Amino acid sequence: MTLVTVIVMHSTTQRSPPTPRRGTEESLSPPGTTFGCKKEMKNLCHNLELDVRISIPAKVAKPISAASFPRRLWFPTWTWKRKVSVEEAKLKVECGGWIESATKTAFGFGVSAAFFFSLFCHTPPALSQSLTVAFPVSRAPEVNAVQRTLVEAWGLIRETFVDPTFNHQDWDLKLQQTMVEMFPLSSADAAYTKISGMLSTLGDPFTRIISPKEYQGFRIGSDGNLQGVGLFINVEPRTGHLVVLSCVEGSPAARAGIHQGDELVEINGERLDGIDSEAAAQRLRGNAGTTVTVKVKDSGKNSCVREVKLPREYIKLSPLSSAIIPHRSLDGQVTKTGYVKLSTFSQTAAEDMKNAIQEMKNQGVHSYILDLRNNPGGLVKAGLDVAQMWLDGDETLVNTIDRDGNMLPINMVNGHAITHDPLVVIVNEGSASASEILAGALHDNGRAILVGHKTFGKGKIQSVTQLHDGSALFVTVAKYISPAKHDIDQVGISPDVQCTTEMLNSPKEISTKDKTSASSLESDSCIMVAEHELDMKESKGTAS
């Protein structure tokens, strides 16, 4: 059996703050814990002929979904048949700033070995306490690769997780236990299950690992762009058939006359029996300029099957839809209200919002409704960017709290709102995370009235890191509270005005490109309440 030993050494020297990389904001989490190297482990490795060392930079990972975390990467460095001194390790890591390195040589598994984690940053190697963790290395290549992923995930959490007690458990011991549980396994899937089990002990459902396939889907959703044909598909539970949920407007699929409810039968001559929606979507995607041939069964009465050759193009997935709602105000005048529905905070959300506001201003809109219902969040930076479009000056957008309990306000710098017209924000129990940050920023700064129902209550920020095998680790790295210092986590934000969820039959004139949105807006009671609040606000403004 091959044993791997992790020697964790805790520094007694106080760490100074890290130096942020140029072009990035300073991390909210402290620099990594110091690890030290021990020269020999005779009691565990009787026949040790080589040292295997992983050199980890002080900051590891490039967060994608958080607003205020610098770029950090971790690439292991494997060293063969060489004793590495502490001083040499210090030079190797070069902790004065963020470093990005990737050097790797072959690694054998038939000999006894010792993993030595060494990390030195801003401190001399003054060590007072050590912990030796030994665990067996699997000889199954698939499982061994996941063991490396486990160590990578464990290190990230050890450094950045918001709770420094790790849910009141010994996180170093948890690594050893999980490695031992992995050792007899023979499949990667089973090994990944062990990682998920280890993460679940943190008591935080938002700290999790996802597969490379799931991460690819996440990136498409957050980037807002893909190369494909513009189809949204899903497996129909009763039949197991792949059916079309919708087509992106103007996409190759929409131009070819594919409609909601149509069944996807073949892709490039291959039947889709037993294929899940993600696998089918992968086949439909491809480089722009290439083509894909699909067979589609029409959802109409004829149910004919036709073959369609679709060109792949760059598809923009907009998280935003908008409409102009004319209505008669309390003084009898017909005014225009701009309605904006934001479904998620992707990388394109802020730009889409800016364009929508500008376009509606040009059409004579004098008040706005921002609908964040059932918006689960997304990129924190996108939420902050949208908030700044409605606010002026140096207002606080949100307060963050790091793992040491330090509060750091995130403020605007000489902000200039696109519009100062009255604004109502609609929220509900499905509004979470970045939605709550945005709603809190607009409400606490006196910019908007909140209408709807209490929000979800997710007051935590995650960083997202792509690991070496293409999987991704979500880690809760900070908590946040509203600008007025109201706690949000597991509490939510209560609106100023409640509205019923029932849909009322009260027709309206609505100018929108989306007929489905039009029909729903006609009888949405929360939108009616929002319009009433806008009327009241304008009426009070006129009287004063």
CA distance 426 to 449: 9
3-state secondary structure of 308: strand
Of 381, 458, 460, 479, which one is the catalytic site residue? 458
The position carrying tokens 């209408």 is 451
Strand partners, 341: 321, 371
At 37, which amino acid appears?
A: C
Q: What would the two tokens of residue 443 be? A: 């409400």
Give 99: exposed, middle or buried? Use CB within 10 Å, 0-12, 13-18, 19+. middle
DSSP 247-274: E-TTSHHHHTT--TTPEEEEETTEE-TT
Of 29, 433, 471, 482, which one is the catalytic site residue? 433
Q: What would the two tokens of residue 243 be? A: 């059916």
3-state secondary structure of 283: helix
Q: Any residues with CB less than 8 A from the CB of 88 and at least 6 apart, and which?
A: none
Integer-rounded Cα Rg, in Å, for the chain is 27
3-state secondary structure of 287: coil
3-state secondary structure of 340: strand
Q: Any residues with CB less than 8 A from the CB of 205 and at least 6 apart, and which?
A: none
Element (DSSP H or E) covering residue 32: none
Sign of CA dihedral 97, 103, 107, 111: negative
Q: Helices (H) and strands (E) in the chain — how many of each?
A: 12, 23
CA distance 236 to 292: 23
CA distance readout (Å), 143 to 9, 90, 104, 135:
27, 31, 19, 14
3-state secondary structure of 379: coil
If you ran DSSP here, which 8-state letter would residue 35 be given? Answer: B
Helical H runs in 316-448? 349-362, 380-388, 434-444
Strand partners, 115: 52
Strand partners, 264: 242, 296
| β-strands 497-498, 449-452 pairing | parallel
458 among known catalytic residues = yes
* Cα–Cα nearest to 297, from 340, 272, 264, 331: 264
90 among known catalytic residues = no
Q: How many other CB atoms are found less than 10 A from the CB of residue 165?
A: 11
Q: Any residues with CB less than 8 A from the CB of 198 and at least 6 apart, and which?
A: 150, 154, 174, 175, 178
* Cα–Cα nearest to 9, from 82, 86, 80, 84: 86
CA distance 316 to 353: 15
Q: Between helices 188-200 and 141-160, what is the axis angle to 10°?
A: 20
Give catalytic residue positions.
433, 458
